[in-house]
Structure 1
Amino acid sequence: MKYFKDQLGREITLKSTPKKIISLVPSQTELLCDLALENELVGITKFCVHPYHLKSTKKIVGGTKKVDFEKIRALKPDFILCNKEENSYEFLPELEKIAPTYFSDIITLQHSIDLILRLGTIFNRRTEADNLAHKIDFKLKDFKQFIKNKPIRKVAYFIWGKPYMVAANETYINEMLALNKFENIYSNMSRYPKVEINRIRHEGDPDVIILSSEPFPFKDEHALEIGTYTNRSITVFGDGEMFSWPGSRTLLALDYFKELHKKLESHF
């Protein structure tokens, strides 16, 4: 028997190294593949889009908010991977009847690195996990040097329209904004609050408005509507995966952030 704790502090008991994994978290599905666990992955959600070919080779067991327990049960997994933010905690009792269920909880970059290392231990992929963690650390140090002398810019990061919702404090997105020296004008709020865009000047009148590519399909009309309530902001259609996916996507995100800053500099 092996005993582990997930990122919620729950103890998980495993009889042996898992060989049939279900991931209900898109970013963690990608991470498992980057830890050389694609062959062990048997079930994913319809939102698990990286690597792209998985949707044709793995069983789809639903979405992140609504899963098909019968499909999960039929796959006879010996490990199920969830996330506190992506999945409903109400899934847990039913999932635990099927297989040991691990919940990640990621708000900071350190939480993300911690998950990589924990999964490396659980799945006997320590070398792969250590290598990935070192690569992220190296690129992170390089990015911090790149961002060191950049100006602080006030930002509003929108994740939903009608009603308009933003990423606020206690989110991984807020951590990524801070890394980029973006001062979140909604950091005095928690999680993903609804906001009144006609009050955006009162909230801080951002220099930059970021409209995330996920989960809402923002269009030009949304940018124009929000922009009418600001004095000087620049609107950017941002890649939501880069700001909200922890794990191995961080390597791509750090390169993406550099390009984003270069584009912003041409506007200021």
Structure 2
Amino acid sequence: MRTCQHKLVTTSHLLIALLACLLCLAACGGTGNGTTTTATTTGTTPTPILTPAVDAYGTPITYPKSAPQKIVSLVPSMSEILGGLNLQDRVVGVDYYTNYPAEMAKKQKISDTGGKYNVEQIVALHPDLVLSAGGITKQYDSQLTQLGLHVVDLPSPDIAGTLQQIQLVGQLTFTQDAASALTKQMQQQIDTVKAKVVGTSAPKVLLEVDDSTPGKPYVFGGGSFGDELLQYANATNIFHTNTSGGGYPQVTDEAIISANPQFVILTEDPKYGGDATQVYKRPNWGSIDAVKNRKIYHINTDIMQRAGPRIVQGLQCVAQVVHPDKFSDPIPAYCQVAA
């Protein structure tokens, strides 16, 4: 199984670490649950953090005392959040698989295609903030911290948590206004989609993450952002009750056939099973309603597997696939839907 953060090409143990991290956004300074704390902002009045904030390892987040000027992103989702906050000029290094936005993709790469990071190169950039997510860079987080760098590895969020995470990155980078504007826009997009599909029937959907091991695919299960995305699109995740693997369980073909989804939506790269045409050839899948009715789709891997600003685009794509009659406009080009 390949990690969403690394464009589905890192080793499986890294992905499991990513997927096992549950959302636990919380407050700086080691305060207890429900305690309001503050963080320094660009203005004179500190901006309140209404919930405790801890990192992917459960450690209270330390906020910088001044705005970071040299930021390194270790994963694509963080790069996209930083880009959404217009921080391209402050980013000095990104991972190999960062490809969006365009300006961020041009930044110096500090990892390779196999997910190996160049620690010496990162240190040489003299970053005052290093960002990661989901604990998939745990080995490097530890090394960089020991070398004196400020590393913040945020938990893997659901959709609501993604909005909170953007606000948190805004706190860390002193761009709270930009973060608030971005999350407000995202929430408006979410509300618009939810309003369009309200009252419709909720078809059964398989939302697949990876089929590198034929017959035993990984899927979006309960607690994942994909599961919440399906709820927002008024669709029923056939594996909603399966929360194993941190919400990304490995299931069997037999379980899928038994659940009989009306739609199958692939989110992985075609190299790892995300080819809609090949799903029709999977052994014993011919009895599934989605196969019989030609309802197999692939949606742009990046917007479906990165918990960043573009996750609302993923919601739009899924909603239009499962409820096409509720949308007057064609499916957006960014969905890259292949049926």
Q: TM-score, normalised by structure 2?
A: 0.69
Which residue, 245, 250, 253 being the options, matches 2:314? 253
What are the within-5 Å matches in structure 2 for residues 158-197 of structure 1? Answer: 158-163=208-213, 164-189=217-242, 190=244, 191-197=247-253
- Percent pairwise identity: 19
* Equivalence for 1:225: 282
Deviations 1:155-192 (A, max 9, x none): 11222224122221222111212211221212232233
* Equivalence for 1:200: 256
Q: Distance in 1 between matches of 2:98 and 2:273?
A: 17
In the superposition, relative to structure 1, how do residues 126 and 114 fare at CA in structure 2: closer, same or farther (>3 Å)?
same
* Equivalence for 1:151: 201
Alignment length, in residue pairs? 262
In the superposition, relative to structure 1, how do residues 241 and 151 fare at CA in structure 2: closer, same or farther (>3 Å)?
farther
Structure 1 unmatched ranges of 5 or more: none
Deviations 1:176-216 (A, max 9, x none): 122112212122322333222144222x1111111114483
Q: Distance in 1 between matches of 2:254 and 2:206?
A: 13
RMSD of the alignment, in Å? 2.6
**Residues 200, 229 of structure 1: 8 Å contact kept:** no
Residue range with higher mean Cα deviation, 241-250 or 205-214: 241-250
Higher relative strand content = 1
Which residue, 66, 69, 89 being the options, matches 1:19? 69
* Equivalence for 2:137: 88
Q: Distance in 2 between matches of 1:230 and 1:160?
A: 21
Alpha-carbon offset, residue 97 of structure 1? 2.5
**Residues 83, 104 of structure 1: 8 Å contact kept:** yes
Deviations 1:59-118 (A, max 9, x none): 111158432212211211111111116x23233211213411112223322211111112
Alpha-carbon offset, residue 245 of structure 1? 2.3
Q: Which amino acid aligns with 2:122?
A: I
Q: Which amino acid aligns with 1:169?
A: G
**Residues 197, 233 of structure 2: 8 Å contact kept:** yes
Alpha-carbon offset, residue 32 of structure 1? 0.6
Which residue, 106, 109, 112 being the options, matches 2:156? 106
Alpha-carbon offset, residue 250 of structure 1? 3.3
Q: TM-score, normalised by structure 1?
A: 0.86
* Equivalence for 1:241: 302
Structure 2 unmatched ranges of 5 or more: 1-27, 30-38, 40-52, 328-339
